[in-house]
Amino acid sequence: MLRRYIRLFGVQLRASSLLAMQYRGDFLVEGLISLFWSVTALAPLFVVFQKQEQQIGGWSFGESLLVIGWFTLLQGILEGAISPSLTGVVEHIRKGTLDFVLLKPADAQFLVSTTRFLPWRATNVLVALGIFVYGFHLLGRTPSPLGVLISLVLLGCSVLLLYSLWILTVSAAFFVVKVDNLTYFFTSIFDAARWPASVFRGVLAFIFTFVIPLAVMTTFPAEAMLGRLPLMALVWSVLGSAFFAFVSRRVWLYSIGHYTSASS
- To the nearest 10 degrees (0 to 180), the angle between helices 123-139 and 61-77 is 170
Question: Could you report the per-residue pLDDT of 127-146, keeping only the tens digit for each?
Answer: 889 889 998 998 888 888 99
216 to 210, 213, 220, 260: CA distances (angstroms): 9, 6, 5, 36
What's the pLDDT at 53?
66
- To the nearest 10 degrees (0 to 180), the angle between helices 24-40 and 61-77 is 150
Question: Could you report the per-residue pLDDT of 180-225, keeping only the tens digit for each?
Answer: 666 677 777 888 888 888 888 888 888 887 788 888 888 999 999 9
The 8-class DSSP code of residue 114 comes to S
Question: Could you report the per-residue pLDDT of 23-41, keeping only the tens digit for each?
Answer: 777 767 777 777 777 777 7
For 22, other C-beta atoms within 10 Å of its C-beta total 9
The 8-class DSSP code of residue 56 comes to B
- The model's pTM: 0.85
